[in-house]
Structure 1
Amino acid sequence: MPDGRVEAFSQIASVALAEPGTRDPELKYVQGFLQRFGYLGGNSFTPGAVDEKTTEALMKYQERNAVPSTGSFDELTRDAMTSARCALPDLDSGVEFSARCAWPKRALTYAFDVDSTDTTGTPEFEAVRNSLRTWAAAVQLTFTEVTSEADPDILIGWRPANDPDHSMVGGTLAHADFPPDCGVVTTNLPKPVHFDDTEHVWSIGAAANAFDVETVALHELGHILGLQHSNVNGAVMFPTVSSNSTLRVLQPDDVAGVQQLYP
């Protein structure tokens, strides 16, 4: 694709389909994906083989990503794995949970720094503000915009794919972090909401081969509030996002999760 844009997880797209017991060196890309997103741990598996641990990891991935649970690297699984998605893991060392932890306060501050190269002006900032308003309407939280020099709780911006605090290389759209007591990216403030401005095109609204800022921001801000990925296909907190589409309304699963954290 032009201008450095890439297809999501293109190495996985070329891996041959494989049933349990299959050996193929190219399966290392599938296993790397499963490791990256929390399904396959450490050195407990045989590289390049759909062994018992890899089969279990594939089944767990399939169960959480609206794919029939076969334990095989089949066509539907390959399609799911080559969809653009959030850079944060789905599981924490194989453990499932939907709500991680909450902020100890109900009034948060945020700031913007680097804007996207894909837009004229900064309409992407207003798209993020809209996402903040959506979450604030669901729970008793307030978000106040400040300057980046004012020690905000959340710092929002567009970064290279190889963002040093959390890599987005290879088909992930963005990353955030969880509240201070349970972060996985940093233990310090401000908490990041970073969009990959190298490998993807950003739009305001649905546009061919581009991703709607407000849709992705709504998802990433759910992490900032303490929500993990959902296994409910169609929820804002489901890990994958389609180009040329919008999802700007919280779904029942999203509302239930955030109201559990902030009753």
Structure 2
Amino acid sequence: MNKNNYTEEDLIPLSAIQHFAFCERQWGLIHLEQQWQENQRTAEGQILHEKVHNPEYKEYRDGVVYARSLPLKSYQLGLWGIADMVEFHPLAPDSEGNGARLPGRAGYYRPVPVEYKRGRPKKDDRDVVQLCAQAICLEEMTGAAVEKGFLYYGQTRHRVEITFDEKICSRVIDLSRRMHMAYNAGLTPAAGKGVRCSLCSMQDVCLPELTRQYRPVQDYIEQQPVDDISISWKEKS
């Protein structure tokens, strides 16, 4: 895909891809209608990220450079955002083709994104696609291959290693493409079916049971017998 697919004006917050992967209607309510509701999960997640985000933070340990709140951008995906943390691991001197250069430091480094989450590993891939989107941003920005990253979960206090294979990268590209299409259309999707509604902080705003039952007027008209419609119009005339 052309890395210049999108312009600066087209860029959408990178965090939106997690919402889109979880529920397209939730994404529309938040990113199109600018609605948001906190629950315990979102509040705790916000507190965790506030503790992690520190753009002045730099640490050097065993040759690894740790950088927090690193700005990210991809014109291939049309996304911008901030990584919780990116580790830069030193590479062997003969690995310059696969590595990134860092200001003021010799040699080449392999970027490894780390995303912090408050809860536990999830059954779906919403956290994985967000992390992979960060990896694609880093590859585009640095020219280095980003093969893996980590999801750190606050409840388990454990890192989960994620490998960015072709399947998950293709899914991220497809999600970003469809997300831009939905954003340009400016229409909040209808509620889908699933048990995930009970996990969503937007349930009271979304009203999923009502929106699932809603039928556009045009759909209603098209489903009526032609004779019935003509009679109703004659009666009104």
Given the two structures, how large is their TM-score scaled by the length of structure 2? 0.24
**Higher percent of residues as strand:** 2
Given the two structures, how large is their TM-score scaled by the length of structure 1? 0.22
Which has the higher Rg, Structure 1 or Structure 2? Answer: 2
